[in-house]
Amino acid sequence: MRAAEQPRASRDVPCIRLPRGQTRSSSHVFEIQGVLSASACDRARDAVNEAFDAGRTTDRGVSLPTQDVMVSSLPQRCQDEIKVALELAAGRVSRELPGVTLEFAMSRAFVIVYDAKRQKGLKKHTDGRKEGATLLLLISKPQRDFVGGGTRFFPGGILESSFDAKPGLGSTIVFPSDTLQHEGLPIKRGRRLLVCVFATKKQISATEEAAPEADAIEDKPAPILDSPAPDISHLRGKACDDRALAQECACVIS
Ligand SMILES: O=C(O)CCC(=O)C(=O)O
Q: Tell whether the torsion through CA atoms of 92, 103, 141 and 4 is positive or negative.
A: positive
CA 181 to chain CA mean position, Å:
15
H-type helices in the chain, by residue range? 38-53, 76-96, 206-210, 242-246
Q: Which of 124, 137, 183, 248 to mutate to test the pocket of ligand 1 (most atoms within 8 A of CB)?
A: 183
The reported pLDDT for the residue numbered 6 is 56
Rounded to the nearest whole angstrom, what is the distance from the C-alpha of residue 184 to the centroid of ligand 1? 5
Q: Domains of the chain (ranges plus CATH)?
A: 25-206 (2.60.120.620)
Count Cβ atoms within 10 A of the Cβ of residue 154 and give its class: 0-12 exposed, 13-18 middle, 19 or more buried: middle
Q: How far apart are CA 231 and CA 152, in angstroms?
A: 21
Give 188-232 pLDDT, tens digit per residue.
Answer: 999 999 999 999 988 887 666 655 554 433 333 333 333 333 343
Determine if ligand 1 sits within 6 Å of the CB of residue 122.
yes
**Atom in ligand 1 nearest the alpha carbon of residue 114:** 1
Read off the pLDDT band of 240 (50, 70, 90): very low
Rounded distance from Cα 183 to ligand 1 centre (Å): 6
pLDDT at 7: 59
Ligand 1 atom index nearest CA of 183: 7
Enumerate the β-bridge partners of residue 147. Answer: 189
Which strands, in side-by-side order, build the sheet including 251-253?
A: 163-165, 151-154, 181-184, 122-127, 251-253
b/e code 96-126 from CB counts within 10 Å (16+ = b): bbebbbbebeeebbbbbbbbbeebbbbeebb
Evaluate: CB of 60 within 6 angstroms of ligand 1: no
Whole-number pLDDT of residue 129 = 67
pLDDT digits (tens, 9 = 90+) for 36-55: 999 999 999 999 999 999 99
Rg of the chain (C-alpha set): 17
248 lines ligand 1 (CB under 6 A): no
Kindly give the distance from the C-alpha atom of residue 162 to the centroid of ligand 1, in angstroms, as a whole number: 15
Kindly give the number of the ligand 1 atom that is closest to the alpha carbon of 151.
3
Q: How far apart are CA 65 and CA 88, in angstroms?
A: 29
Q: Residue 54 half-sphere exposure, CB side, CA atoms within 13 Å?
A: 10
Q: How far is the CA of 213 from the centre of ligand 1 (A)?
A: 31
Q: Ligand 1 within 6 A of 182 CB?
A: yes
CA of 3 to the centre of ligand 1 (A): 32
Ligand 1 centroid–CA 64 distance in Å is: 10
Nearest CA to ligand 1 atom 2: 184
Q: Residue 12's pLDDT is what?
A: 85
Of all protein residues, the one whose alpha carbon is nearest to atom 9 of ligand 1 is: 196
Residue 244 C-beta-side C-alpha neighbours within 13 Å = 19
Helices and strands, number each (H, E), in the chain: 4, 14
Residue 82 backbone phi and psi in degrees, to 5? -65, -40
Look at residue 62 in the predicted model and tell me its pLDDT.
59
Whole-number Å distance between alpha carbons of 154 and 87: 26
Looking from the CA of residue 112, the nearest atom of ligand 1 is: 9
Q: What is the pLDDT of residues 54-80, one digit of tens each?
A: 999 998 765 677 889 999 999 999 999
